[in-house]
A and B are shown apart, each in its own frame.
Chain A
Amino acid sequence: MTYLAKPKFRHPGLPKNSLGYTHRDYEGAVSTLCAGCGHDSITAAIIQACFELSIEPHRVAKISGIGCSSKTPTYFLGNSHGFNSVHGRMPSVLTGANLANRDLIYLGVSGDGDSASIGLGQFAHCLRRGVNMVYIVENNGVYGLTKGQFSATADRGSKSKRGVVNTDNSIDMVAMALQLGATFVARSFSGDKEQLVPVISAAIAHKGAAFIDVISPCVAFNNHAGSTKSFDFVREHNDAVNRLDFISSRMPIEVKYEPGSVEVVEQHDGSKLALRKLAADYDVHDRTAALGFLHQHAAKGQIVTGLLFVEKESEDLHAHLGTVDAPLNTLGERELCPGQSALDAINASLR
C-alpha cells in the first residue's frame, strides 16, 4: 500500500499495441491493498492481457462483490465500465448486464470468500447457465479484510498465522466449475505471470463461461509455514499440466512448434491456444478425466495448474435463449412492441 499516486512518467521505450496504447493506459487508481498482495499481481496480469489483446477499454465491464479481491477492479482498466456489487452477488449482476448488452467483455472479479461462501449459490448458477464472461477468483484461503480467518477454500490441515489448524474440508472451486459445466476452466498462480497472462487472454477470447481460479498469497495473513497458499508452498507444489501460448486472431505471426509436443485449439473468434503439454497423458478436453486428475493430485498435496479444460464447441447463455444478435439494450420500441398483428401471430402459434 502506498499513499502516493503512481507518477505519470512512463518509460520512453514502452511498446504500444495496435490501438496506440501502452500497458500504462490500462491501469486504474493506485492499489490500496497491502504491500506484496498477490491480488496486485493479478491486476497487473489483467492489465497486460488487455494491453496485448488491444482491447478498447470502453468495451469492458468489470463487476465485483466485496472483499480484498473485489476492490481490485479499481486498480485496473480505469477507463472501463465497473460495478462494485453486494457481497457474493457479482454473478447475478454480471448475468443481468450480459443479458442487457451482449457486446461487452465481462470480467467478474471475486474472491474465495465472495464466491465460495456467501456467493456460492450465485457462483454455481452463473456457471451453470454459461454466461459469456471471465470469472476470476483471487483465491488466498483467508478473509483478509477481517484479519485472516480461514475461508471456505482453506485446505483441511493447513495452519493459520497463529498456528490454528483448519479442521473443515475445503471447497475446490475448479472441481465445482468443471462439474457445473463451465466451458473454460483454468488454475494459475499470482506469482507466475508467464502462465497467468496467456490464461487470462485465452479466457477473454473464449465464448462461454470461463472460470479461472488464481491462487494469490495473502502476505499479511497467509504466507507463513503451514499455509498451503503461501508463495513458498505454491511454488514447491505447483504441478502445471501444460504451458499455454495464446495466439490472437489478429496476430499475423505463425508460431511453429515441433509436431507432437503442442496441441493447437482453435477458439470461436479465430484465436488459437497453443498448449505445450507438461503432463503427458492429460487431455484438456475430457471433463471427467480432469476431475479425477484433480482429485488424485489434491490428495498428494499437489496444486494442479494450467488450462485444465476447454470445450471445443462452446456456447453461451444468449445461444441457449436464442436472443437476437443486437444487444437488448439497443432495441427500440418498434422492435420490442412489434404491434397487434405480431402478438396475434404469437398467440395463434401457442393455441
Chain B
Amino acid sequence: MKNTDISAPDYFHKVVDCQWACPAHTPVPEYIRLIAAGRYSDAYMINWQSNVFPGVLGRTCDRPCEPACRRVRVENEPVAICRLKRVAADYKDDITARLPKPAAKKNGKRIALVGAGPASLTVARDLAPLGYECVVFDGDPKAGGMIRSQIPKFRLPDSVIDEECGYILGLGVDFRGGTAISSMKALLAQGYDAIFVGSGAPRGRDLDIPGRKEAAANIHIGIDWLSSVSFGHVSTIGKRVIVLGGGNTAMDCCRSSRRLGGEDVQVVVRSGFEEMKASPWEKEDAMHEGIPIHNFLVPKEFTHDNGKLTGITFEKVKAEYDAKGRRKLVPSGEPDQHFPCDDVLVAVGQENAFPWIEADCGIEFDQWHMPKVDPVTFRSTHPKIFFGGDAAFGPKNIIWAVAHGHEAAVSIDKMLNGEDIVDRPLPATELISQKMGIHEWSYKNEVMPDQRYKVPHRDLKIALKDIKAEVELGFDDKLAFQEAGRCLNCDVETVFTPSLCIECDACVDICPMDCITFTQNGDEADLRQRLNAPALNLTQDLYVEDGLKTGRVMVKDEDVCLHCSLCAERCPTGAWDMQKFFLTMTHAGPSCRPPVTRRSAA
C-alpha cells in the first residue's frame, strides 16, 4: 500500500465517525469536550455554526451520528450525542451578542426563499449577514416549517423553535408569514437574483382501499392531522385509534393520540417490526406509553356502519426474500384480522407537491415528478432557482435540510459573485498537537467501559395528560458530564512520523486494541489479514507509513482505536503524537470564493 496522505481533508475526517456521518459535519467531539468543561455557550456556538438549530436538533434529530459512533464498535451503545447537544442549548448563557450582526450595508442582491423550514432558514442564516436581502415566504404565520407544524410539542416546545428561528430572523431577514407562494412565474417576475425552494414534502400519502370514502370523517392524513394539532385546530380524538404506518410520523401520531383522549391506541405496520422506518428510540418511546405495534399486517378495507368508521380489516403477510435478497410481502394464509377503532391516522409516507410551479417556467421534472436538482450545487435546471431540504430529493430530515441549505447558500453566493458554482473549495482543516507534558494531554484520555446514561423522562401519568408537556427532561449537568465522558475523542488523531521511529514495538505492545502492526508491505487485502488483529471492517481505513529502517511499514487500523494516547505516551522518540483534527466546512462567504489576487501596481 502507498503511504497514507493524512493532509487530505477526508482522511482524518472519516476517523471522526460521528462528524463524517453528520450531513452538516458538526465537530461533535469538540463540543462534547466543551460540555464536559461546562462551557455550554461555546458548545452551543459550535453547533449553531454548523447545524443552525442545536436546541431543535438536540431534541428531534434523526442522529445519523449515533449509529456511526465508535463507542458502538468497542462497547455497544453510542454516546448520546443528540441529547448532549440539547444540554448545550438548555444551559447556555445569553448568546445573542455572539451571533453575527445584521449586515451594515446590503450588497444589493435579493433572494427569495420559499418555505420557512430548516432548509430556507439555513440559507437565510448564511447569506443575510453577507449583505444579501433575504425574503422568506411561508403560508404559516410563524417561521419553522415542519419543525413547527409536524413535530408534537411534547417533543419540541414552541419556545425552542421561537428562539432559534428568532436568531435567524434577527439577522435582518425579511419574513413574510401567511404568504403562500402560488406561482413560480409570478415570483420570477419580481426580479429576484436567486430563488431557493425549501417548501418541504407537504403532502401525506393516502390509502386508497375500500371504505376510504364512506368512512372519510374518521380517517385522517397523519401530517395534516399533526399540523392541525400543532396549531390547535384539533384537540380530541376517539378512544380507540389505529395508526397506519411505521415511520417517525406514525410514532408522533400515536403518541399525540394518547394525549388527546386516545385510550386504546395501536400502531399497525405492513413490514416487520425491525424494518420499520421509525428510529428505534421513537419506537421505544411509543411502546413505553402503552402503545402496541403490530407488524406484517396489510390494510385491506375500512369497515363502516352508516357512514361511521368501525374498524380496519388486515391481511396477515410474511416476508419472503428472492435470490437477490429483495423482500416481498406475501399472504401468510392466516385468516384476516379485524381491528375495531373510532379513528384512523394514515401515516404511510409523504410526497412532494409543486402545484405552484408552472410547467414552462424553466424547471424540469423527472419521471417521479421531482425537480431535477444537482446533488452538489442544488441548482435546478433553471440557473437562478435552487432547491433544498425535502423539496429537493424527497422526505429526509432536519439535519439533511440544514446541510442542503449550507450548500445551496454557497452556490448562490458564488453565482452572485460571478463564479463557477461547480468549483467548490475543500473544507479547511487543522492538526494541532495535544501534548501538554510527559503524561499530560489537553483532553481526557482515560477510557473506561461506561454504559450510556438514560435521559430522565417526565412521569408518564403527567406527560399523557398534557400534549404540551415535554416528555424528556434532558440531562442535568451531572449526567451530562458523565455522558460526555463516554466520548472517545476520535478527533484527537494518532499521527505517526516514521523518521523518528526506532521500531522498539512499545506502541504495538501497549495498544489495548491491537491496532498497530509493523510488518512487510503488501496490497490492502493482504495487509488487512496480516495485522495483529485482522482489519475486517472495510469501511475503516488503514493508516500506512513506510520509511522505517528495517524496511517494514507501520500499519494502523483506525477501526477500533480508542484514541487513548497510550501509543504516544509509550513512544520514546515522539514518533507518535496525538493531534487534534478540526474541520471547518466551507460555508457561504469569502471562504467559499478563492482569494482575489490583487494586481501589482506596476
Contacts and interface: CB of A to CB of B under 8 A. Distances in A.
B420 interface: no
Nearest to A14: B533
Interface centre among A4, A14, A37, A232 (most CB of B within 10 A): A4
The DSSP consensus for interface residues of chain A is loop
Contacts of A1: 439, 569-570
A6 B510 CA distance: 8
A43 interface: yes
17 contacts: A1-B439, A2-B510, A4-B445, A6-B512, A6-B566, A7-B512, A7-B564, A9-B449, A10-B512, A12-B560, A35-B569, A36-B506, A36-B571, A37-B506, A44-B508, A219-B572, A235-B550
Contact of A4 (B509, B534, B564): B564
Interface of B: 73-75, 439, 445-449, 502-506, 508-510, 512-515, 533-534, 536, 549-550, 560, 562, 564, 566, 569-573
A38 to B, nearest CB: 7
B504 A7 contact: no
Contacts of A13: 533-534, 536
A44 B514 CA distance: 12
A231 B550 CA distance: 11
A40 B506 contact: yes
Interface string A1-42: 111101111111110000000001000000100111110110
A193 interface: yes
A59 B447 CA distance: 32
A119 to B, nearest CB: 27
Contact of A36 (B73, B562, B566, B572): B572
A10 B513 contact: yes
Contacts of B75: 9
Interface residues of A, number: 33
A217 B504 CA distance: 9
A133 to B, nearest CB: 24
A44 B184 CA distance: 71
Interface of A: 1-4, 6-14, 24, 31, 34-38, 40-41, 43-44, 190-191, 193, 217, 219, 223, 231-232, 235
Contacts of A14: 514, 533
> Most chain-B CB neighbours within 10 Å: which of A7, A31, A44?
A7
B513 A11 contact: yes
B548 to A, nearest CB: 11
Contacts of A4: 439, 445-446, 564, 566, 569
Contact of B509 (A7, A9, A12, A43): A43
B569 A2 contact: yes
A191 B569 contact: no
Contacts of A191: 503-505
B509 A235 contact: no
Contacts of B73: 12
Given A7-B512, A14-B514, A235-B549, A38 B504 contact: yes
Contacts of A11: 513-515, 533, 560
A193 B448 contact: no
A11 B562 CA distance: 10
Contact of A44 (B446, B509, B569): B509
A31 to B, nearest CB: 8
A34 B506 CA distance: 10
A232 B549 contact: yes
Contacts of A12: 73-74, 560
Given A3-B439, A10-B512, A219 B504 contact: yes
A232 to B, nearest CB: 7
A14 B449 CA distance: 18
Given A8-B448, A44-B505, 11 more contacts: A4-B564, A7-B562, A8-B512, A9-B75, A12-B73, A12-B560, A38-B504, A40-B509, A44-B508, A219-B572, A231-B502
B514 A2 contact: no
Contacts of B566: 2, 4, 6
